[in-house]
Every structure is written in C-alpha cells, then in structure tokens.
Structure 1
Amino acid sequence: MKPPTQAPPGAPPAAPAAAPVRVGRALWLSGATMISRVLGLARDQLFAILIGANRYSDAFVVAFRIPNLLRDLFAEGALSSAFVPAFADAHRNRGRDAAYRLANAVVGVVLVAVGVLTALGVVFADGLVAAIAPGLESPGLAALLARIMMPFLLLVSLAAVAMGMLNAQSRFGAPAIAPALFNVGSLAVGLGLWASGWPPERAVVGWAVGTMVGGVLQLGAQLPALHALGFRARPVLSREALRDPGMRRIGRLMGAAVVGLSATQVNILVNTIFASHQVGANTWLQMAFRLMQLPLGVFGVAIATVAGAGVAQRAAARDMPAVKATLGAAMRHVAFLNVPSAVGLAVLAGPIISMIYEHGRFGPEDTAATAQALVFYAVGLYAYSGVKVFAPAFYALDEARVPVVGSVLGMASNVALNVTLWPVLGFRGVALGTSLAAGVNFLVLALVWRRRHGGLGGAGIVAQLGRVMAATVVLGFAAWAALRGLQRVLPHDGGLARQLALGLLPVLAGGLAYLAAARALGISELTELLGAVRRRRARRS
C-alpha cells in the first residue's frame, strides 16, 4: 500500500476528522480495561498471598516469561501490528468476504507455525530456562511450569487474530473484556488453591494450570462477537490463500515487526538474566512492572487501540491530514492521563504496594524492594505509551523500518544501561535501564515522524505537555502532603485499615488536586473527557 498523500500544492488543506480520537469510545475502553487491570491486580495479590517472593515465585515468573515473550513477539506484537492495517485495507477496499478469507488464511498459518513453536517449547523447556535465568535456584520447577503453560501461546495467538479483526471493524467491547476473563479464570483456580491451603511449591503448579484456564476464556470471549459480524472460522493453507496480497503485506510487515519487537524481548531476557542472580528480584520487578502497566493499559493502550484503528482506517483511505490529527489527539490524551499517573506511582509507590501485596507470604522487605523498582519503572511510563501510539502508525503507513530502528536502539541502550547500572543499583538498575531505553525508542519515533511528516494534527502539543506537567507538580505535592499527614495521625498498628487509608486517600487527594489544577490551567482534554462522561450518562438515561 502506498503511503497516504498530502494535499496537492495550492489546494486547501483537508479538514481532519471532527473527532480524531473518539473520546467516548476511548473512555469506555479505558473503563473495560480498568476492570481487567483491577482483576489482574487481584490475581497478583492472590499470587503474593499464596506464594510470596521467593525461589518458587521466581520459577513461575521465569517459566511464564517463555510463552509470554513469544506472545508479545509473534501474537500481540508483530502479528497484531501487521494484521490490523492489512485487514482494515482489505475490508475497506476489497470487501468483507475478502477480508474474512484473509483472516482465515492467517488463522491457518498461526495454527501451524505457533503450534510448532509450542511443541518446541515443551521439548526444550530445560534448556530455555537455563538460557534466560542462569542464576535461578529452582530451574527444574521452572521447566515443569513452562511445559504446562506453553499451549497458552497458541491460545493467545488466536485471540490476537480475533482481537485484530474486531478492532479493525471498530468493535472494541469483546477485545477489552477478554483479558478480564483471563484474570477471572486465573483467580477462580487461585481461590481454589487458597482454600486448599497448599504450600507454595505445590500452589505454583496449580497456578500454572489456572493460567491455561484463563487463556481458554480469553479466546472464547471474542468468538461470539466475531460470529455476530458474520465471520466463520475455516482455516486454510492453500497456495491461493497464501498468495493473497494481504498475506504478502502481512508477511512483509511481520518480518520488520519481529526484528523490531525482538529488541524489546531481548531487553526482557537481559533483565531476567541479571535479576535471576538475586532471589526474589524477578518477582519484585514483575510486580512493579504490573503496577506500572495499570495506567499504561487503562490509558495508554486504550488510547493507542482506538487511535491505531483510526490510523489504519484513515491510512487505507489515503487521508494523511486525518492520520496526523488522530495521532496528535492521541498524544495529548496520553500526556494528560499518563504523566500524572507516573508521578502518582512514584510518590505513593510504598503505600500502594503495601496495600495490594503485603499480605500472606509477601513481607515488608518485599514491599520495600518492589516500591523501589516501581519508582524507576514510572520514569518511562510516558515513553511506553508514546511508543504504543506511534509504532502502529508507522506500520499502517508501510514505514516499518522506523519502529525497527527505534526498538534496536532501545535494546542497545538497555543492554548498556544494565551492564552499567547493575553493579551500582542492583535490580533497581534493571528497572531504570528499561525506562530510559523506552525513552530512546520513543525519541527515535517522534523525531523521524517530524522529519518525514511534519508536526502532528492540532495545535499546542508541547504547550499542552507543559500545562500537564505544571498540574502534575500540584498532584505530587498534594499526594505527598496527604501521605505524610496520615502517617502522623494513623496508629502504626492499624493493620489493613491503615494500609487502605495510606494507599487510597493520598491517591484521591492527588487526583482531585490534579483535576482542579487542570481546570485552572485550561487543559482542554479535561473538558473533552467530562463531556464524554456526560454524553454517555445521557445515552444511558
């Protein structure tokens, strides 16, 4: 597909779409994602209660990392980035039947290719564990858990195809709910383990089985929505299907995306190798990263999903002004929501982690270590979100080399930073290096976009970011002051009530202060979000 063209010289500029990012739709998607993330936190909380942060939890984290890395690389990463624009283009320009034939060809390839990867992972689990976690204390247990969870890769790969088809047709409900059902399945099994009173070395095996149950639910949740749209799963691997122009485009984009995303996976592998030499470090980093992913998933991914679908549709229509307007609106919303989230997580890392995780076998020392990791992860939250917005736009425009270069430079930065920071900061250096590497990746994408396509649609992105940062300073001070005040007045032996008060009330104080400052500074995204809430309430009425 050729990139969308600019308006010819002398012609009046094309007006961008009236609503480049559907704020109401993104708000609804954020709400659905919030439910999933809250359930994910509940799942992690139950994991901490049952197993804690020790060699058993490290074994699970390392074992799950094997199918999860492949999922991020092939399924929800390269495949989604390549499939959504190709499917959207086929649906718009060749019709629904052609798009569905393309999807069935992709399903056929996934069943064969990912099935082979799954089998290889089962056979070579011991070697894979030894390669990515050479310092692990329980490599045999990790290999057993990896064998149990490898089929999760196939389930989530098929779920990614379903998600791409639904998102490309602006059906965001089922894909947003599906991860919540994954968490529901894991929680259900975990509650059974908790009731049984199993020791951590047995409970962690049951937890791996619960992960598989969640994967089945994540795929199954999206099938009714696809059926309602007229899709019938008939996987094909014929020569004619593989020669479809959409398949050739997917193959071309996936090749570039795998190279680019492999840099991210190398970062994670490098982090795992370093952290495996300290008992509990992989668990601390995993728990902290999950908390950082709460605003990333609720806000960053939701905005990126809606914007990515809009970019793919507008790119298929060859409407470059609308593409730029969509990206501009998305980046303004990312700043408005994720910059304050990052500061809030950094200021309140300790009480938030204590409230969520410090129960059962997860002790105060684990809370302190996880909080330190979260502070350093929060540094990269805006960059993570920005990459999720920009990278799909380059793929939609057939400029896949750009995110590849950004990812490779980010990988090189991460490796260099880990080598430099680990002797000084230990596992904390892993978190900081990851955040700084994300910043390098984002900077590459932003600079190349500006050089190739000029500014983003809409005015005042830099000025808006300045106002957001000013309002965020108010948030940080209010949250810190509320925390210090509560620590003085609440009894130290307050137990769960003290944990809840210290974890929730400063968040509320900081959030209200930010909204008041945003209103005083005239940040327009606040007005858009409030308007979307009022419209949704009016429709319900």
Structure 2
Amino acid sequence: MAIATIVSRVTGFVRTLALVAALGLGSRLLDAYTAANVTPNTIYELVFGGALASVLVPLLVRTADDGDVDDDLFAQRLLSLVVYGLGAVVIITIIAAPFIVDLYVPGFSPDQRHLAVVFTRYFMPQILFYGVSATLAAILNARSRFVSPMWAPVANNLVVIATASVFLLIGGTGKLESLTHVQMLLLSIGTSAGVAAQMIVLAAVSRRTGFPLRLRADPRGIGVRRIVVLAGWTIASVAAAQAVFIVITRIASQAGSGAVSVYSNAYTLFQLPYAVIAVTVITAVLPRMSRAAADRDLARVTADLSRSLRLTSVVLVPIAAALIVLGPQLTTVLFAHGNASPAAAHLTGAVLAAYGLALVPFAGYQIMLRVFYALGDTRTPALLSVGVSAVTIATCLAAAQLALGPNLVIAIAACSAIAYTAGLLVTAQLLRRRIGRVDGHRLLSTHTRILAAAIVAGLAAFLVNRVLGTTVGTSWTGSLITVCTAAAIGAALYALAARVLRITELRALTTALRINNT
C-alpha cells in the first residue's frame, strides 16, 4: 500500500509536469484545459464523492459482514444506482457545458471560452468513470482488497503523460490559436481515457476477486433515503468547499492570461507535503484515537492528538519555510520546460510562497477535525468547514477589490492562510471544550522550538538564495543550483538546531513512519 501510494503520487506529479511542458504554463490553452478538466471532479465530489467517503464504504463493510444479506447483490444494486444516476448527470452537464464554463471562468475571452466548452463536453464522462471507480474500490476494500485500488490511479496518470508526450511529438504548442482539431481531440479523448483506464483496472481486479460485474434493472433495496440522511452533513461540507472553488476560479480567470493554471499548479504543490506527511501521520494515529474515543478515554485522545500535531509540524514547518524562501526558484526548476513561460513559472512560485504560510495551519486544522470524527461527530466538522469556506470566500472577494493582475492570484493564496489559521484557532477551542484539554502547554513549547529551528534554517536558505541569485542567475540551471544548495544547508542547520533545542519529535516521526509502513 505504501509503495502504491508513493508511485501514484510521483506519477501524478509527473503528469502535472508533462501537461505544463506540453500546454505551456501561463498560456490561455492550459487555462482552458485546466478549467474544463477540474469541472468533472468538482461536480462528482458535489453529487457523489462526499456521500461515498462518509457513508457508502462503512455500509458496504457492514453488509459484507452480515450473513443474512447477499453482499454481491447489494453491491451490484449500488453499482447500478451509481451508473444510472451519474450517467444522467453526465448527459445534463454535457448539455449545460456553456453555462458551467460561464459560472466558473467568466473572465475568458470568446475563443478561450469556446475551447473550454468543447473540452468540458469531452471531459464530463469522467464523472461516471470516477463514480464507478470509487464504488468498485469501496467494494474491494470491503472484501479486504486494499492494494489494487491504490495502484489504479497510476494507469490514469500514465495515459495522460503519454497524451501530453504525443501532443509535443506532433508539434503541439502552448498557443491556443495554433491548436488543430486533431490536437484538440488528442487532449480531450486522451485525458478522459486516463480516467477510463483507472476504472477498467478496478473492474478487471473486481472480476478476478469473484465479484460478478452486472447491472441490475432495479437498483432499489439499498436504503437510498438512509444514505442521503447519513451523508447530509458531509454533503454540506463538500458543497461549501465547491463554493470556494467556484469563487476562486472565477476570480483567477479575471486575473490575466494563465492565472487559472498558475493557481491550480501552485495549489497542487501546496497539497503535496500535506498528503505525504500529515496524511501518513493521521493514518497511523486515527485508529488508536478512535479506539480511545470508543473507550471514553479522553486522556488518550488528547495524547494522540498532541503527538499527531507535533510529529506533523516538525516536518511541515521547515518545508513551509522552504516554500516561502525558495518558491519561485523551486517552480522554475519544476515547470520551466517545453512550452511553459518562465514568467508564469516564477509567478507560480510566488503563489506557492504565499501558500507556505497556510501549510501548517491547514495540516493542524485537518488533524483536529479527525478527532471529531473519532468521537463519532460529523456535524461539528461540517459546520467548521462551512465557516472556513465562508472566511475564504469573504477574504478572496475583498482581495479582488484590492489587488490587480498577477498579484490577485498571490492574494488568493494568502486568503487561504488567513482562513485556515482562523479555522485552526476556532477548532482548537471547540475541541478543548469537547475533550477537556488539548495539551496546549506542550504544543506551545514544542512549536516554539520548531519555529526557532526553522527560522535559523530559513534565514540561511534566504542568504544563500540572495548570494547565488546574483552569481548564477535565475535561469533553470541557476535556480536548480540555488534550490539544491539552499535546501542542503537549510536542512543541515535545521537538524542541528533541532538537536540543540532538544526537539525529539524528529526521531519519533521516523519511528512512527517505519511502524506505519511495516
């Protein structure tokens, strides 16, 4: 499972780099492609994804353990309901594609809007592919098959990487005006084929496990009303998150050419350290926290929460410092290839630097939400998510009145930092009332020492950046030298400062990761 997760993350990142190189970071073509390609994910999460995560997987597990229920028949009816329901959604969204594009990206020019509409119509079947893939993965998980669903996204990534590579080989450029009909079809069909490949892999694995892939004409009998009631709070949370996405995308589309793809790629990089570090810690600690909550042992819950926050911060704080100091150089190294614009790569780094301020608050906020889930409370996390979404929207709308052009995209990232910090503080207070204490004194002491060590490392990286920036330049080669040198010196100083300040969480994190992977 660990290997599959790493390979999936790596190939997903290579996919992002391939698309940037092919379509050109900062280009109107990549903006149109990005706006169209995220739409199916957004609609899928809104109409189905939240319910799947909160209700359907546990429901399948309970059904599989119930000897009085035909779990194959139940799973077939569930899959049938997904196919019929999402199939109807696909038809509706294909027809409504122009209205959807206008909702998300009103700032596009007429030719860019037309291409986004065409892409959107080709991409909408992904809603069905995602739904079937997620349902098959849930069925496999309920039957104790965990590894295959984690490998399936790799097929998606490889198909899209191949699509981007072929686009370059046949002379594709980052200019919307020079896009041929063949190139447009290649991008459209190739991208959706990637999601279809992921679905096909899961279907093949499901058949090998003995699950009969068969659609039922009458999918009733799975308790649809009960599912809707149970998923209500999660759906509200997802809807609030999608409202944030709509507002941010609309604002970014009016910030200039390439702003949508610049923001999207910066956000992807921002999420990467959280996914690798924080999610790993959460995965290791959440089962213990849930058992402690079931035993009403709130002291153990507090201890696990404190440990999770400290283990996560000891890695994410220096990474956040690196993003703040080296953001433009890092994105130049990653994205300044092929048809990508160096100026757009630099702007992506500036947005990433602003997101560095949000990394630790975001991770802490997400970890604290998991405590409510461990306590069996889905209402409070949903209300908190709605509140954070409201703050994000309000600050982004205010920023749209104060910032112009590229600075607006940077301001959006800063607004996220404000919203997640507010969410962290409010969540901590509510959690303190719920479980009595959150180990505040120890958390404050540890985070103060971690911050001190990160400041030492960050200042050293900043000085290296300033010195090398004037000697080796800001080209791809110069940026690579700067990033490698500054990162090496900063990491060494952080490890030394952590030792001097007795930050024991570094060793504890290594042990936790080793146990989790085992």
TM-score tier by shorter-chain length is 0.7 to 0.9
1:141 aligned onto 2:151? no
1:479 aligned onto 2:453? no
1:102-148 per-position Cα deviation (integer Å, ceiling 9, x unaligned): 65554333223222222211111011101221111111110111111
1:9-57 per-position Cα deviation (integer Å, ceiling 9, x unaligned): xxxxxxxxxxxxxxxxxxx73x654443333332222222222122211
Answer whether contact 1:380 1:435 (CA < 8 A) is retained: yes
Aligned to 1:185: 159
Give the TM-score normalised by structure 1: 0.81
Answer whether contact 2:123 2:192 (CA < 8 A) is retained: yes
Question: What percentage of residue pairs aligned between the two structures are identical?
Answer: 28
1:446 aligned onto 2:423? no
Answer whether contact 1:275 1:282 (CA < 8 A) is retained: yes
Aligned to 1:39: 11
**Which of 348, 351, 374 is the aligned partner of 2:352?**
374
Within 2, Cα distance between the matches of 1:472 and 1:91?
48
> Any idea what SS the aligned residue of 1:197 has?
coil
- Higher deviation after alignment, 393-402 or 361-370: 393-402
Answer whether contact 1:88 1:313 (CA < 8 A) is retained: no
Cα 1:209–1:479 change in 2 (3 A) is farther
Residue 119 of structure 1 aligns to which amino acid in structure 2? I
Kindly report which structure 2 residues correspond to 1:245-256, keeping only aligned pairs within 5 A, or say none: 248=226, 250-256=227-233
Residue 198 of structure 2 aligns to which amino acid in structure 1? Q
Kindly report which structure 2 residues correspond to 1:192-231, keeping only aligned pairs within 5 A, or say none: 192-200=166-174, 201-202=179-180, 203=183, 205-222=185-202
Aligned to 1:48: 20
Residue 249 of structure 2 aligns to which amino acid in structure 1? T
Residue 82 of structure 2 aligns to which amino acid in structure 1? V
Residue 466 of structure 2 aligns to which amino acid in structure 1? R
> Any idea what SS the aligned residue of 2:195 has?
helix
1:335 aligned onto 2:313? yes
Within 1, Cα distance between the matches of 2:155 and 2:41?
17
Aligned to 2:43: 70
Aligned to 2:499: 519
Kindly report which structure 2 residues correspond to 1:125-524, keeping only aligned pairs within 5 A, or say none: 125-137=97-109, 138-164=112-138, 173-200=147-174, 201-202=179-180, 203=183, 205-222=185-202, 238-242=219-223, 248=226, 250-277=227-254, 278-308=256-286, 325-395=303-373, 397-425=375-403, 426-456=408-438, 460-490=442-472, 492=473, 496-524=476-504
Within 2, Cα distance between the matches of 1:347 and 1:172?
39
Tell me how far 1:256 sits from its aligned partner: 1.0
Cα 1:312–1:172 change in 2 (3 A) is farther
Within 1, Cα distance between the matches of 2:44 and 2:7?
22
> Any idea what SS the aligned residue of 1:461 has?
helix
Tell me how far 1:226 sits from its aligned partner: 5.9
Residue 530 of structure 1 aligns to which amino acid in structure 2? T
> Any idea what SS the aligned residue of 1:360 has?
coil
Within 1, Cα distance between the matches of 2:142 and 2:285?
11
**Coordinate RMSD, CA, aligned:** 3.5
Cα 1:453–1:533 change in 2 (3 A) is closer
- Equivalenced residue count is 503
Within 2, Cα distance between the matches of 1:150 and 1:363?
29
Cα 1:320–1:290 change in 2 (3 A) is same
Residue 169 of structure 2 aligns to which amino acid in structure 1? A
Answer whether contact 1:338 1:382 (CA < 8 A) is retained: yes
Within 1, Cα distance between the matches of 2:47 and 2:100?
18
Answer whether contact 1:51 1:204 (CA < 8 A) is retained: no
> Any idea what SS the aligned residue of 1:134 has?
coil
Answer whether contact 2:63 2:69 (CA < 8 A) is retained: no
Tell me how far 1:468 sits from its aligned partner: 2.3
Answer whether contact 1:325 1:458 (CA < 8 A) is retained: no
Tell me how far 1:364 sits from its aligned partner: 2.5
Cα 1:163–1:444 change in 2 (3 A) is farther
1:72-110 per-position Cα deviation (integer Å, ceiling 9, x unaligned): 334544421333455556667x57977777655543332
Answer whether contact 1:85 1:313 (CA < 8 A) is retained: no
Residue 508 of structure 1 aligns to which amino acid in structure 2? A
Tell me how far 1:282 sits from its aligned partner: 0.8
Residue 242 of structure 1 aligns to which amino acid in structure 2? G
Residue 222 of structure 2 aligns to which amino acid in structure 1? A
Residue 211 of structure 1 aligns to which amino acid in structure 2? T
Answer whether contact 1:39 1:184 (CA < 8 A) is retained: yes
Kindly report which structure 2 residues correspond to 1:89-108, keeping only aligned pairs within 5 A, or say none: 94=66, 103-108=75-80
Give the TM-score normalised by structure 2: 0.85
Answer whether contact 1:80 1:161 (CA < 8 A) is retained: no
Answer whether contact 2:325 2:458 (CA < 8 A) is retained: yes
- Higher deviation after alignment, 49-58 or 510-519: 510-519
Tell me how far 1:450 sits from its aligned partner: 2.0
Gaps of 5+ in 1: 1-27
Aligned to 1:117: 89
Residue 235 of structure 2 aligns to which amino acid in structure 1? V
Within 2, Cα distance between the matches of 1:153 and 1:471?
45
Cα 1:365–1:165 change in 2 (3 A) is same
Cα 1:300–1:533 change in 2 (3 A) is closer
1:451-504 per-position Cα deviation (integer Å, ceiling 9, x unaligned): 1223358993333323322222233123223323433443x49x5433322233
Aligned to 1:14: none
Within 1, Cα distance between the matches of 2:311 and 2:397?
35
Within 2, Cα distance between the matches of 1:235 and 1:318?
43
> Any idea what SS the aligned residue of 1:198 has?
coil
Gaps of 5+ in 2: none
Cα 1:306–1:381 change in 2 (3 A) is same
Within 2, Cα distance between the matches of 1:340 and 1:109?
47
> Any idea what SS the aligned residue of 2:222 has?
helix
Answer whether contact 1:343 1:378 (CA < 8 A) is retained: yes
Within 1, Cα distance between the matches of 2:212 and 2:439?
39
Answer whether contact 1:57 1:204 (CA < 8 A) is retained: no
Answer whether contact 1:406 1:445 (CA < 8 A) is retained: yes
Residue 270 of structure 1 aligns to which amino acid in structure 2? V
Within 2, Cα distance between the matches of 1:165 and 1:329?
33
| Structure with greater contact order relative to length (CA < 8 Å, sep ≥ 6) | 1
Tell me how far 1:297 sits from its aligned partner: 2.0
